[in-house]
Every structure is written in C-alpha cells, then in structure tokens.
Homo-oligomer: A and B are copies of this chain.
C-alpha cells in the first residue's frame, strides 16, 4: 500500500495512517501526555511543573501569501500548539531543508519574519539544523520547528464537559482561503488575508478569565476537524449555531466560488474553546480585549451524546463532519 495525498490531510484517511503505522511506537510517553493521545502537544512532568513539547513541518505554497509567509507560520504553528495545551511558549528549534539554488535573499526574509513572530510570542529559536539537498530533491524549502512550553495545569482537547459553552476566537476559514485564492490568482475585490498569528497572549487572558476545559486550534482540516476531534475524544455532542459562526463576507464568497466549505480549511491564528458556562461571558470579553480576538463569538454548547450538530439558520439540523481529505493541500 502506498501513501497518498489523502494521508496528508487532517482528516479521516490520515487518522487511518496514524493508527496503522505512525503511532505504533512502544516508546511513546515520557510520563505525562504522550503520542498515544494525539493531542496538539505532549506533556512531560518536570519537578513541580510540566514541559509541553510539540513539532510541525511547514510546506506551505506560495512561500509568501497575503497576510503572512512560511516563516511566520513556522513560528506561529508551533507556538500555537503549545498554547493549546495551556503552555507558555519558551523555546523553539528550527530545522530547514533547502534546495540547491534557493535564493539567499528570500531566506533572509523568511528568517526576519520568523524573528518578528518570535518577538510577538516572547519565545526564542535556540537551536537549529540546516540541510541542503540537490536540485529536484525538495521543492524549494521546508521548515520544521519544534517547541517547548511551560504549564502548571495542562489543557487537553478531550476535556469538554456537558454544559460547556463553545467559543471561537475569531473568523473562520481566512488562512485556507487566503492561500487558495492567492494560488489561483483570483481577484475577489477585497483581498482575503491569512489570520496567521501567535495566540498565546489571547489564550493567557482567556485562562485568567475563567475555566477552560478544552482547547484546539483549527488548522489542517479546519474547524470541522477540530470540533469533531474535541467532541469525539471528550465523549460528548457539540451543537453549533450556524448563525453565530463568524465568517468574513469575502471568505464566504470565495468559498462559494471554489466549492469549498470554509469550515473545512485551515486557520492559523484561531482557538476553539470549551468553557465552563458561568465563565463564558468573562472569557469572551477577555478574548475580545486582545487584538487577535476582536471577532470572538460564542458559537455553541456541549450536550450529552456524540457527533457535532449544526443548527441551521432556517431551523434545520445537520452534522458537521471532519473532512475526509484536505481541500487545500500544502496550506501550512
């Protein structure tokens, strides 16, 4: 059997490859939360605190897109995974694989962009590796970052409780549609901008404002995948109100034009949270007080049962399902 493109998407087919091959390590846990939990990161207990640890390789095309670039996404992607565990990002590694002939000026721009994003996160790149491959062995550049964060009490993606309120920290679908329209060269009037940004500041405010039971960032596979993983791992049903979902008008238009569900594409500066109902308003206010959280909204609630149900604006109901593949390959 061969690996195919569906295996690279954050959906159901990918889960199969994971289950059959990539999570077969017997040595998969260092005493806390390990690979077996398939959360946004791992947790390693250390003294009286916890180290959060995560990694991501970045292969986005084009390298520079409206609102961001591969450098910014390489820092934010990993820092945000740490934040999803409740972890303050501290240190990142940076491993680049570069194709012979790659322009050093472009490389410098990428490094500058990474550095700027690091400054925003309050984290540093402390260790690195560089490999150069012969022409044709790699498409330009790929960047891996791994990250270390610190947390006292980790937050899981599996912690949703019946009665919780679901909050999203802003508009959905921006990054995926920004990359897609940039790639296709669509002129949609108002340019769609990627939302790529570090969310730790916003998450920290939210955690100080109330009890967060579960968090996940809706990256590959989009909101649909994130919310389904949260519901399934938590053993609950999530009900989402369609009218409450914040989606930009230009994202809606581009989605219709391309036949893509904006809930299925990656976001790179957003958080989906399950919050204790009594704390929902104060957490919402805290998120909205952050520059990356102005469009935050309460979008649903957690009930007994399973699956994710969308209550539509005309009073109907349908399932939100995790996409089987990724409608936008190489989105991050």
Contact = CB atoms under 8 A, between A and B. Distances in A.
A71 to B, nearest CB: 11
Q: What band does the interface of chain A fall in when counting residues whose beta carbon is under 8 Å from B?
A: 35 or more
A25 B115 contact: yes
Given A133-B8, A139-B138, A42 B105 contact: no
Nearest to A124: B27
A148 B126 CA distance: 13
A1 to B, nearest CB: 4
A7 B132 contact: yes
A184 interface: no
Contacts of A27: 115, 118-119, 123-125
A97 to B, nearest CB: 5
B132 A8 contact: yes
B30 A104 contact: no
Interface stretch (A52-60, A168-176, A186-194, A300-308): A52-60
A91 interface: yes
A153 interface: no
Contacts of A234: none
B133 A90 contact: no
A51 B1 CA distance: 40
Contacts of A28: 124-126
A97 B51 contact: no
A127 B53 contact: yes
A204 interface: no
A23 B20 CA distance: 39
Tell me what chain A mostly uses at the interface: helix, strand, loop, or mixed: mixed
Given A30-B124, A34-B124, A127-B53, A132 B3 contact: yes
Contact of A3 (B1, B24, B101, B329): B101
A25 B111 contact: yes
Contact of A1 (B23, B95, B105, B132): B105
A301 B95 CA distance: 34
A291 interface: no
A128 interface: yes
Nearest to A105: B1
Nearest to A332: B131
Nearest to A126: B42
Contacts of A93: 42, 53-55, 146
Interface in A4-50: 4-5, 7-9, 14, 17-18, 20-30, 33-35, 41-42, 44, 46-49
Instruction: Sort A-B residue pairs by CB-CB distance and give the 7 closest, nearest first.
Output: A8-B132, A146-B146, A42-B126, A55-B93, A27-B118, A42-B127, A137-B139
Given A3-B132, A44-B148, 7 more contacts: A2-B102, A25-B118, A29-B124, A35-B125, A55-B127, A57-B131, A136-B136
